[in-house]
Structure formats: C-alpha cells, structure tokens
Amino acid sequence: MKYFRTHILIGINDTSKQAGVDAFIKTLRESLTAAGLQEEINILETGPLGFFGKGICLTVYPDNVNYENVKVEDVAELVDEHFLKGRPVNRLMFDAGSKFTPKFNYESRIVLRNSGIIDPESIDEYLGTGGYEAWEKALQMKPMDIVDEVKKSGLRGRGGAGFPTGLKWSFTAPIECEQKYVVVNADEGEPGTFKDRLIMEGDPHQLLEGIMICAKAVGATKAYIYIRGEYKLSINRLKKAIEQCYNYGLLGKNIFESGFDLDIDLKIGAGAYVCGEETALIESLEGNRGNPRWKPPFPGVKGLWGCPTIVNNVETLANVPYIIKHGAEGYKKFGTPDCSGTKVYTILGDVAYPGLCEIDMGTTLRTIINEYAGGMKQGFRFKAALIGGAAGVILSDRLLDVKMDLNSLNQYSAVLGSGAILVMNENTSIVDMLWSILRFFRHESCGKCAPCRNGSQQLYDLINKIKKGQGTEDDLDKLLLIAETMQQTSFCALGQSPVMPIRSALDNFRDEFLALTKK
C-alpha cells in the first residue's frame, strides 16, 4: 500500500463541474508533478463536501484545512505556499467554525457517512468502508426478518410523508405472485430540496445496497430508480455503480448462489412535480402521463403494471444498510425515542453557510441555523424559515426552538417535509414568498381534478391581487377557505398542500398582509 503525507479531497458535483473543476484538477496534478510532490501528495476526487454555491472546494488532510471558490489561477499559490512550505492560504480558506466541513460530526452520520471521503465512482472504496456487508447479511436472512428489523428500527419515510418504512414493506412481503417491484423516488421536485441529488452524487452504492435489501425483504426481482433528468452527474454515477455491481456479482441471477435474482435499472423523469406522488410516478414509469391514480388499491398491493410495488425515497433506502448491519437498536441510538435516526437537511437563504448537513432527528431549528449554517448572514436578523419546501410551512422566530422531527413539528401543525430549510431575513416579504409558492402550485397542477386545477388558479389570482395592494381583508379569509376546500377535495397531495404555507403565513404574519389590503 502506498502512503502519502497529504491528501487533497476535491468535491466533484454539479456546482464544481460548472466552476471548471476538471481543468483545476489537471492543472493541480501538473503543478504538483513539476514541484516533485506527486509521490507525497494524493489527489482524491470525492463526492460533495457539504458546501453549496462555493464553486470548487478542497479539504486537505491531515491538515484539516478547507478551501472554497478556488480557481485554476490559485493553483500556483496553493502548491508553493501550502504544499511546499506548509502555510495555508488564508484568503481561500473556508471558515473553520462551520460544521459543514468534513472534519465535523462524521460520528453522527448514517446516510452521508462516506460523502466527501471516498471516491463515489469506485466500488472498491465503498467495499473498503464496509460496503455491501449488510447486503451479504441480508442474503442470509429470511425476508420477514429483514422487514421486522426495519420495523423495529423506527425508520420512517424521508420523502415527506413520514410513513413507517417497515410497515409499508410488511404489506407487500407476504403477497405471493410472480412479479414484484421496488421503485425509488429520486425525482426530487420540491423547491429548495437537493439532498437526494447530493446523496446519489456522494455515495451511489449506499443507495443501491438499500435497494437490494428492500428487494430481498419484499421478494422483488426488479427495481427501478426514477430520477429527474436534470441530475446528470447522479445519473452517470448510478449507471457506473450499477455496472460495477453486475461485474462483482452483486446483481443479476442467483446472487452469490443464494437463489435470489435482482436487476436494477434507471428511468429518467421529465421534471413533473406531481410525479413525486407515488402513483403518478408509477404512471410515468409505465410510459403514461404522470397523473395520480385512485387509492386504494395502494401500490404495495397493485402498483407498477398491476404488480405489488414498494415505492421509497432515496434517503429512506440509504438508511437501510446501516439498520441491517448494526441492528435496529444500533440505529435507534440516533434521534429521539419516538423518531429515530438522522435527517439530511438542505439549508438555503440568508445564512452564512448554505449547504447540506445530516444530524439527529429532534435537533432544534435554532441549532441547525446557528451551528450548522453559521447563523444569519452578517448584518441580518432572522425573520422566518420555510420548512419542507413549497408544500411546507412558514415558521416565525417563536418556533426557533422547535425540535425538528416528525412528531414535534406535528404538535404545531407543521411538517418536516423533504428536509429543505429556507431562511429569510427581516427584509423579506412574506407576501412575495407566498406569491412565489402559489405560482409554483398553479404551474405544477396536473389538471386531473377540478379542485386543484381551478383552486390553484384562484389562489394565484387572489395572492396576485393582494400583492398589488388591491385586495381586502375578506380576500385573506377567502384564500384560506379555498385552500381548505382543496385540502378536503383534491385528488392527491399536490392540491391538498397549499393550505399549509397559506395558513402558516397568515397565522404568523397576518399584519404584513393586512398592510397591503384596502381599508
């Protein structure tokens, strides 16, 4: 084994690709070679380092120095000052106080445990971290034993609904039929949410291992990953990871002579928000227009092509290998007694360090903002946070100390949703924010049912009227009434969701709306 005195981890994701990371790496390799350092310093291309919107980012081990927004023209200074003379380049350094940096909190990570550490395109590096040991264990377990372990772990869906994962599997596992499917919802259309993309970019094999275990548990021999077409890097890495799994005998026929067969394929989605609803996703996967279906029957009984189908979110399945490897009790060491595990959050808006973090369920919103996002941007004060994306709620500073888990938020008629946190400063117009949300719902309504088709247009017309200062106080009540009617009568969750941002905006910031209404 070759040893290096220094390792340079370079995050390869869509952001760094756009910033020219390929040219940067080429120049860095050439400069290190010219300085005679190629045998001492190792360059490791890895997944997202947790930074967001910071261009090309580096982490230097064992120095624990993090650089952001570096460019090709910075290479000469980095090599000369840091890698030859041992003096970090302060002007390029990321603030060491941020917990987004890889040196923090890896002991509390499950889903992102490898992200920013291993090469996501190398199955050997994943195996080196204990990867596929859970799959090996699962192949020797009885299907219902796998289901029971996931049940006992308390894992709940991480796509927004929060339904108990093991319970969902238990409906499908006992059904005897020729064909069952596992479908992964990697469509991720919720505004402000990009956690699944970074999970797939940073560690695609962990998702594949979760799919394999799920398939074994419910008796499915075919799995599809339904992924949005814009996620080019995730698509390429998943394709490569799947190919590697076939080459290593982890997928295919009679896997490791267990008698179990499994094939995994990708389906590229066209970007419809409604396809985040599981039956609309299945319709699209079958080649039809992505409209939701009647339920019941539920997909677990009659799903893809009329066969029993498990539909799970990317983050949900990425938790499964840890549960099988360490047991339900090992998993329940994370989170709260009523809501176990960790949660991956994407933090955007008026914070010092936008990005990605994975922390225990039950961590307060204040802690997430102050410790993991570095607090508010300099010179700004906190006003509100949109939690869970467009289908979420707008929280005021009164709820900064709310615990971010499914049960605690439910006590305040709030939702955890997909894990997006959009932080707003004191200058942000909540009216404008709600206008943007309702415009989004109007655009994304599939039009199948009248309550959503007509209601979303009426909501947009009303908020437009209010935004222009032409509304009345009665219009505020009408806004909520229409949303509540949609919640009770719409065909799927898309039409049922606008009531949450509307009610929370009016409850917490009604004066702001009244200030724009006619007296």
Q: How far is CA 493 from CA 74, 161, 316, 447, in A?
A: 49, 10, 19, 13
Q: Is residue 228 domain-shared with residue 289, that is, in the same domain? A: yes
The CA distance from 281 to 318, in Å, is 20
pLDDT score of 104: 44
Which of 425, 449, 469 is the C-terminal boundary of a domain?
Answer: 425
- Which position has the higher pLDDT, 279 or 3? 279
Start-to-end CA span in the chain (Å)? 77
The reply to whether 519 falls in a domain is no
Q: Judge whether residue 97 has pLDDT over 90.
A: no
Label the pairing between strands 382-387 and 393-396: antiparallel
Q: Is residue 38 domain-shared with residue 153, that is, in the same domain? A: no
Q: Is residue 297 domain-shared with residue 400, that is, in the same domain? A: no
Would you call 485 helix, strand, or coil by DSSP? helix
211-228: per-residue pLDDT in tens? 999 999 999 999 999 999
139-171: per-residue pLDDT in tens? 999 999 999 999 999 999 998 788 999 999 999
Q: Is residue 459 domain-shared with residue 415, that is, in the same domain? A: no
The reply to whether 142 falls in a domain is yes
Picking from 85, 11, 64, 7, the residue whose alpha carbon sits closest to that of residue 41 is 7
Which of 331, 363, 379 is the C-terminal boundary of a domain?
Answer: 331
Of 10-24, 275-289, 296-310, the one with minimum mean pLDDT is 10-24
- How many CB atoms are located within 10 Å of the residue 494 CB? 25
Q: Is residue 160 domain-shared with residue 218, that is, in the same domain? A: yes
Q: Please give the residue range of the domain that contains residue 79.
A: 6-104
Q: Is residue 294 domain-shared with residue 439, that is, in the same domain? A: no
The DSSP letter of residue 62 is T
The reply to whether 137 falls in a domain is yes
Picking from 387, 434, 386, 384, the residue whose alpha carbon sits closest to that of residue 406 is 387
The reply to whether 167 falls in a domain is yes
The CA distance from 281 to 441, in Å, is 18
Would you call 332 helix, strand, or coil by DSSP? coil
Label the pairing between strands 56-61 and 65-70: antiparallel
Domain containing 408 — which CATH number? 3.10.20.600
- How many CB atoms are located within 10 Å of the residue 257 CB? 8
Label the pairing between strands 263-269 and 222-228: parallel
Report residue 519's pLDDT band, with 50, 70 and 90 as the boundaries.
low
Domain containing 33 — which CATH number? 3.40.30.10
The reply to whether 294 falls in a domain is yes
27-54: per-residue pLDDT in tens? 999 999 999 999 999 999 888 777 677 8
Q: Is residue 382 domain-shared with residue 437, that is, in the same domain? A: no
Spatial contact of 271 and 228, defined as CB atoms under 8 Å apart = yes
Report residue 101's pLDDT band, with 50, 70 and 90 as the boundaries.
very low
The reply to whether 324 falls in a domain is yes
Which amino acid type is present at position 166?
Answer: G
The CA distance from 183 to 181, in Å, is 6
Q: Is residue 357 domain-shared with residue 441, that is, in the same domain? A: no
pLDDT score of 135: 98
Q: Judge whether residue 102 has pLDDT over 50.
A: no
Domain containing 317 — which CATH number? 3.40.50.11540
Q: Judge whether residue 343 has pLDDT over 60.
A: yes
Q: Is residue 408 domain-shared with residue 272, that is, in the same domain? A: no
Q: Is residue 480 domain-shared with residue 412, that is, in the same domain? A: no
Report residue 412's pLDDT band, with 50, 70 and 90 as the boundaries.
confident
Q: Where are the beta strands (DSSP E) in 1-108?
A: 6-11, 41-46, 56-61, 65-70
Q: What is the mean pLDDT of residues 82-109?
A: 71
Which of 385, 401, 425 is the C-terminal boundary of a domain?
Answer: 425
Where b means 16+ CB within 10 Å and e means fewer, 356-388 reads bbbbbbbbbbbebbbbbbbbbbeebebbbbbbb
Domain count, the chain: 4
Would you call 373 helix, strand, or coil by DSSP? coil
The CA distance from 22 to 515, in Å, is 51
Q: Judge whether residue 106 has pLDDT over 80.
A: no
Q: Is residue 205 domain-shared with residue 285, that is, in the same domain? A: yes
Q: Is residue 421 domain-shared with residue 445, that is, in the same domain? A: no
Domain containing 500 — which CATH number? 1.20.1440.230
pTM over 0.85: yes
The reply to whether 118 falls in a domain is no
Average pLDDT of the chain is 92
